[in-house]
Every structure is written in C-alpha cells, then in structure tokens.
Amino acid sequence: MMTVSTHDKTLQVDRSNRAKLTDKEFSFICQFVYQSTGIVLNDNKREMVYRRLTRIIRERKLASFSQYCQMLKEHPEREKDFFINAITTNLTSFFREQHHFDYLKTTEFPTLLQRKKKLANGKKRLRIWSSASSTGEEPYSIAMTLLEVLKAELSEWDAKILATDIDSNVLNKGKNGIYDNNKIEAIPQSYLDKYFYQGKGENRDNVKVAKELQQLITFKRLNLLHDWPMKGPFDVIFCRNVIIYFDKETQQDLFARYYELLAPGGLFILGHSENLGSFQKYFENSGRTMFRKPY
C-alpha cells in the first residue's frame, strides 16, 4: 500500500485562480493513480501533479481541484482514460541511453541472428517488445538498429517490434511517426538520410519516419497491471524508466511476468536508475542495466 506525505500545506493553482490542491485532494489523486495504474506518487511528485491537474481543470472548465476529484469519484470509468493520459510522464528521446543500442548493434543482434539462422526451419522469427514506448522514439530507435544489422536480409525474417504504453495519446503520436526537427538531433546523419523524410511547406519543421520502420512496429495500448494478451516469446524486452514508478511488490510481480515472456537467452533492458532487486538472482548480467535470461 502506498503512503503519501500529508504536510499541512496547499498549492495555489496560479495567482489569478483561488483553487487549491489540499492534502486530502492530493492523497485522493495519488490513491486513484495507484489503483488505476500501479504508479506510486509520493510528496516529491506533488508539484508535477499540481501542474497537470491545473491543465485538466482548465480544460474541463472547473472551478477547483475539489470538483475534479468529485468527478473522478462519480464517473471513474468515464474519466479514467483522460486522467491517465494527462498525469503519466512521457519523457523520451531517440537513442536515449545510447549504450543499449550500441550493444544491440555490435553484439546482441548479430549473435541472435546467427543463432536463429542455425535453428530456423523456414522463415526466421524475431520478436522485440518496447513496453513503455511513449511517443515512439524508443521503438523507432530499436527498428533503425535492427535494420542496420539485417540490411538486405530483412525479407528472410519474420521480425516484429511491439510498442505498448498506457497513454493512448502518445501511442497515436508514435504510430503517426511525425516529429519536430528538434527531436532528431541525437540521430546519426546516415540514419536520418535513410529513415526520415523532411517535411516541406507548412510541415518544414517536422520529419516523418520511413514506412520500412513503421512496418516493423505495432503500437498497442497496455496497462502493465492488467492482463497481457501477447504470448511471446520475446528475444529482447525494453522496460526502461517505468519500473521506478511502481512499489517494490509490484516491481517484483512485473519482473516475474517479463521473465515468463522472455525466450531462453533473451535480453531484458532496464533504465539507468533501475535494478532488479531480489529478482536479480534469476538473470545473468550482460552489461549496464542489461540482463539475460539463462538458456
């Protein structure tokens, strides 16, 4: 069960608005988020909650946080999707934590492809899951890395990347594959030349990813706490910068579920500030925040 700090304080929405976020309202919001998503919001997230709730009550044309809390109580199912989309964090970038993609390109993918060639009967199967894909930068980075290794052999492979997230808005952005020019600064120029189209006219400040990348990726909405309809097995699973939002018990439960969906020898990748905790004993360490399920 999560705990929420309840210091005697309130936050002004802004200087022109008398609405306040009270301890009671903040506690209710934290509990609602936890019950809906498993994400733990403690007092250090209060300012973030305040900012995002402010946008919500303005969009809903409400007078106070109290009114919105009442709306969540009276119509939780109707309001939940909108609320989750507004409150969840979606910070990401292309080739974030570059060392993971370097390892995929130089070591993991070449070794994996050679092994599967020897074992394959017919078309060779490859499955990768980006389980907190946000606006799509991570799965597209995986796709570019994979294509660089596969090159002309793509037609010989049944290769697919599953990209999931709880937020339907960011999934739609990822599926559309259109990004601001300032979002692509970390992408090598050779990749930009091959996998992106520069917009023209009113779209000159945007780029669009090439179809060969989009064809590799399937975007699906998924709450990690609910049933997982996919059966796997996955050769590589990315679970970066999302586990930190869950409590320890939920983390261990999720690690067990990820483990079951990994193929023997499969690679499990966490974010830079995350670790497996007691579940480490079931994996072999393959590098910085990279873990392998034993064969």
Is residue 52 part of the annotated active site? The answer reads yes
Tokens of residue 83, six digits: 């609320």
Of the chain, the end-to-end C-alpha distance in Å amounts to 36
Q: How far apart are CA 180 and CA 78, in angstroms?
A: 32
Q: Looking up tokens 């074992």, which residue turns up?
A: 119
Is residue 8 part of the annotated active site? The answer reads no
Q: How far apart are CA 199 and CA 202, in angstroms?
A: 8
Among the listed residues 23, 43, 52, 247, the single catalytic one is 52
Among the listed residues 96, 127, 165, 167, the single catalytic one is 165
**Closest C-alpha to 165, from 138, 131, 137, 142:** 131
Cα angle: 163, vertex 81, 172; to 5 degrees: 35
Q: How far apart are CA 192 and CA 208, in angstroms?
A: 10
Cβ atoms of 128 and 236 closer than 8 Å: yes
Cβ contacts of 203 within 8 Å, gap of 6 or more:
none
Cβ contacts of 263 within 8 Å, gap of 6 or more:
127, 232, 233, 234, 235, 293
Q: Kindly list the catalytic residues.
A: 52, 165
